[in-house]
Amino acid sequence: MITEIDLVAQLKDSKSQSLAFEVLVNTYKQKLYWHIRRIVLNHDDADDALQNTFIKVYKNIDGFKGDSKLYSWLYRIATNEALTLLKQKSKKQGISNIELKNQIIENLQSDVYFEGNEIQLKLQKAIALLPEKQQLVFNMKYFDDLKYTEISEIVETSVGALKASYHLAVKKIEAYLKEN
């Protein structure tokens, strides 16, 4: 299996770029898709944001200095693309971010790509109600099983602050599920 350093070097070399980019897409497309999907919840939006993520990576690979790991750089771009897409949607519809989240949650019930039961729908509602950072940390820790050190590199926050965020997020979700 190709190492991350070699892959970056090949991506920057115009001769090997196409092949290396295909390797990159195949390696990360599923992980990044689910990361984005949990933020935007809707498949079509996730698909758009994922494509935008890889296009951005392709265009900016020369600017990647290697100060951080490749996967954390990719996750950071994916997170930004997902959040930007939501902001654009709320701006286009002239509603707030929270109103848009509620609207997306309501639409989940009729979404053909969502087959959750009542409890799963409530869990998504509880996550959607969390502040942006807590939402990200909870998803990455709970669903993606990323380590705190890895999340720390992606969201550029200290491990201590992340632990506190995750703890708060779990408490809020549990409280919401008990109440409802």
Partner 1 sequence: MKEQSKYKPFKIPENYFDNFNDKLQNRLNAKKSILPKNNGFIVPKNYFETIDSRSLEAPKTRIVKLRFYKAYYFAAASVAAIFLIFFMIKTRNTSKVTWNNLTHNDIYIYFENNEINLSTYEIVEVLPIDELHMTDILDDPLDAVKVGNYLNENLTDFEILNLEDYEKN
Under the binding rule (CB under 8 A), the answer on residue 26 touching partner 1 is yes
* Of positions 3, 14, 110, 117, contacts partner 1 by CB under 8 A: 117
CA trace torsion 149, 153, 155, 158 (10° rounding): 60
d(CA 144, CA 85): 21
* Of positions 49, 50, 85, 151, contacts partner 1 by CB under 8 A: 50
Computed from CA positions of residues 65, 86, 32, 142, in that sequence, does the dihedral angle turn out positive or negative? positive
User: Which of residues 57 and 154 has its CB atom nearest to partner 1 in the complex?
Assistant: 57
5-28 residues labelled b (16+ CB within 10 A) or e (exposed): eebbebbeeeeeeeebbebbeebb
Q: How far is the CB of 47 from partner 1 (least distance, A)?
A: 8
Stretch that binds partner 1, among 6-14, 48-56, 74-82, 152-160 (CB under 8 A): 48-56
Q: How far is the CB of 158 from partner 1 (least distance, A)?
A: 25
Stretch that binds partner 1, among 42-50, 75-83, 130-138, 147-155 (CB under 8 A): 42-50
Measured in residues, the chain has a length of: 180
